[in-house]
Amino acid sequence: MINLDLLQFKPFLKSKRENGKQLIFCPIRKKFLVLQPEELVRQLLLVYLIKEKKYPKSKIAVEKSLRFNELEHRFDILIYDKNNQPFLLVECKAPEVNIKKSFSWMKILDNLSEVKSEIKINRNPFEQAAQYNFNLQVPYLLISNGISTFLSKMDYKNRSSEFLKEIPIAQ
């Protein structure tokens, strides 16, 4: 697990109240969105990645569609490297989602062909990110609920992964 205090980045968030709803500004999508717990985590992570890790906004995609097994899915955050190759896939969850409870997603790497036909609606966050990653093949997967944050470096050749203690800086 990565020791990451996302709340320290709260002062950098822009928010407003409109029509009785609390809104938060997304610097990547350049618009205000309804503030939900998962959206708060996503925005705090974006501030952290931009300010601390120096990822350029131009290399970040947020909530874009991804096709997997004939189904349309949306990833939370995808960061591209300097060569415009997918580099870091981020899955955000609301703080009440316990992302520590299951690391079984790593078993997915044991047999890639079987997994492609085993899409489950209620996947745990690791399985969800790993399944999205079959198309993308990013070197790093990050999962956070704002309280717990895990980063895995993927090794596709050996079908394995390794948990890291720090998020890599922009490449």
pLDDT for the residue numbered 133: 63
Structural domain that includes position 133: 6-164
Residue 1 lies in a domain: no
Question: What is the per-residue DSSP string for the chain?
Answer: -B---GGGGGGG--EEEETTEEEEEETTTTEEEE--HHHHHHHHHHHHHHHTS---GGGEEES-EEEETTEEEE-SEEEE-TTS-EEEEEEE--TTS--SS--GGGGGGG-HHHHTT---TT--HHHHHHHHHHHH--SEEEEE-SS-EEEEEEETTTTEEEEESSPPPP-
Residue 170 lies in a domain: no
**Mean predicted lDDT score pLDDT of the chain:** 81
pLDDT for the residue numbered 11: 96
Give pLDDT tens digits for 135-158: 678 899 999 999 989 998 988 788
Residue 137 lies in a domain: yes
18 pLDDT exceeds 50? yes
Separation between Cα atoms, residue 164 and residue 119, nearest integer Å: 27
Residue 171 lies in a domain: no
Assign residue 121 the CATH number of its domain. 3.90.1570
pLDDT for the residue numbered 105: 42
pLDDT bucket at 55, cuts 50 / 70 / 90: very high
Number of domains in the chain: 1
Residue 14 lies in a domain: yes
Separation between Cα atoms, residue 141 and residue 167, nearest integer Å: 10
Separation between Cα atoms, residue 31 and residue 93, nearest integer Å: 21
Give pLDDT tens digits for 65-124: 876 667 777 889 999 999 999 999 999 999 988 876 544 444 433 333 333 323 232 345
pLDDT for the residue numbered 65: 80
pLDDT for the residue numbered 155: 83
CA 77 to chain centre: 5
Residue 169 lies in a domain: no
Residue 91 token pair: 């899955």
Taken as a whole, the chain contains a residue count of: 171
Backbone angles phi, psi at 126, to 5 degrees: -70, -45
pLDDT for the residue numbered 126: 58
Q: Are 18 and 53 in contact (CB under 8 A)?
A: no
